[in-house]
């Protein structure tokens, strides 16, 4: 009875908060229609990709079809085949391009692969939300590794890609030599912290809003994807550092990918199954782990970063960058790249000793 009561309470919280978020979104929609009715429903589908998406210095566009799921994945690869693999998993609402600075940086010593996750960009997007359960997303990474001809990698994830990276490291520890996560805590820390801290619950409101069918996608398209643009450029949530703000062409790259018909459903479906996968088990990570965190993250409270230490049963390094936003690897690429190099070399040295 207690279990049933707790489950009922949990789902009541999820759907009531989902309702609150929907009401706020509805009010924003009405306000926008009242102010600029013509602009509100303007949505331009970009026909041609901006040149930056085909920049040869970033690597080669490749495709691989996974045997088990039958899905075709798109990725951009830089560095020679046969070098150790560095696999990069992006967050939401992003795609392989968010790793452009890392593709250029690490190709000297690694085969660097920046993936479009299931449902994103040029990777196949199965239609049903059940196809986006965490088990499927974890299996994708294992299958891709094998399809690329590797049995282990340095795994790097940011935001939602960080969540997947943690879970891959927990489920397939033999496949991850080193784990690097950017602005996402250990999943157990996240799920426990969010229930105890209303401030984090509010910041994670989009997890609840995304439980609704079609409406979240619709809200993203308003005013020609104003929400998407402001996520990266606004004072509150955007990239703060002057020298690294997204260029007009960078923003156009994001708009090109997400303005295609149906392009937002796959990415949002990642969140539509999350509550049915909870609670996550308490699993420890056994490989050396680097956690990088932008302190000005508008979506994740920095306190979660320190608590993550408990779950890593190996060398754990945490670096918090005070002036950095949620989009850390784009916001402070030079510092992030330097910290990653230090961590990779340091671990190699330690093994030799």
Q: Which residues are catalytic?
A: 159, 271, 326
Residue 221 CB neighbour total at 10 angstroms: 21
Separation CA 313–CA 265 (nearest Å): 37
Q: Do 351 and 268 form a contact (C-beta atoms < 8 A)?
A: no
Separation CA 88–CA 78 (nearest Å): 12
Please list, in sequence order, all residues whose beta carbon lies within 8 angstroms of the beta carbon of residue 151, skipping any fewer than 6 positions away: 145, 174, 175
Specify the residue for token string 């910290």.
339
Separation CA 96–CA 87 (nearest Å): 11
Q: Do 33 and 40 form a contact (C-beta atoms < 8 A)?
A: yes
Separation CA 254–CA 52 (nearest Å): 11
SS3 letters across 186-242? CHHHHHHHHHHCHHHHHHCHHHHHCCCCCHHHHHHHHHHHHHHHHHHHCCCCCCCCH
Rounded to a whole number of angstroms, the distance between the first and last alpha carbons of the chain is: 55
Compute the CA torsion angle 135, 138, 139, 144 (nearest 10 deg).
Answer: 160
Beta bridge partners of 292: 182, 319
Separation CA 72–CA 77 (nearest Å): 16
Q: Do 101 and 329 form a contact (C-beta atoms < 8 A)?
A: yes
257, two tokens: 């990918």
């Amino acid at each position: 009875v207690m279990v049933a009561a707790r489950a009922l309470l949990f789902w009541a919280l999820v759907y009531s908060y989902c309702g609150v978020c929907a009401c706020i979104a509805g009010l924003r929609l009405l306000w926008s229609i009242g102010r600029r009715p013509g602009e509100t429903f303007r949505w331009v589908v970009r026909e041609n990709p901006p040149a930056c998406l085909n920049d040869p210095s970033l690597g080669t566009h490749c495709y691989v079809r996974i045997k088990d799921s039958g899905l075709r994945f798109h990725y951009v690869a830089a560095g020679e085949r046969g070098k150790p693999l560095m696999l990069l998993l992006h967050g939401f609402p992003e795609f392989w391009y968010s790793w452009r600075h890392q593709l250029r940086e690490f190709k000297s010593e690694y085969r660097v692969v920046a993936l479009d996750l299931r449902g994103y960009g040029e990777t196949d997007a199965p239609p049903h939300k059940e196809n986006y359960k965490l088990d499927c997303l974890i299996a994708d990474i294992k299958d891709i590794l094998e399809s690329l001809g590797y049995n282990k990698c340095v795994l790097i994830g940011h935001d939602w890609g960080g969540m997947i990276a943690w879970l891959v490291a927990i489920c397939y520890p033999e496949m991850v030599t080193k784990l690097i996560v950017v602005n996402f805590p250990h999943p157990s820390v996240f799920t426990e912290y969010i229930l105890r801290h209303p401030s984090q619950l509010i910041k994670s409101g989009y997890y609840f809003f995304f439980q609704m069918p079609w409406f979240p996608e619709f809200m993203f398209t308003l005013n020609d994807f104003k929400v998407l643009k402001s996520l990266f450029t606004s004072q509150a949530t955007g990239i703060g550092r002057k020298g690294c703000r997204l260029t007009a062409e960078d923003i156009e790259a994001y708009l090109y990918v997400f303005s295609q018909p149906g392009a937002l459903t796959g990415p949002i479906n990642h969140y539509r199954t999350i509550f049915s996968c909870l609670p996550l088990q308490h699993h420890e990570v056994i490989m050396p782990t680097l956690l990088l965190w932008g302190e000005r993250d508008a979506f994740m409270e920095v306190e979660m970063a320190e608590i993550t230490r408990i779950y890593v049963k190996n060398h754990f390094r945490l670096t918090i960058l005070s002036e950095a936003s949620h989009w850390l690897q784009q916001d402070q690429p030079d510092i992030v790249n330097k910290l990653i190099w230090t961590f990779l070399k340091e671990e190699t040295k330690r093994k030799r000793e």
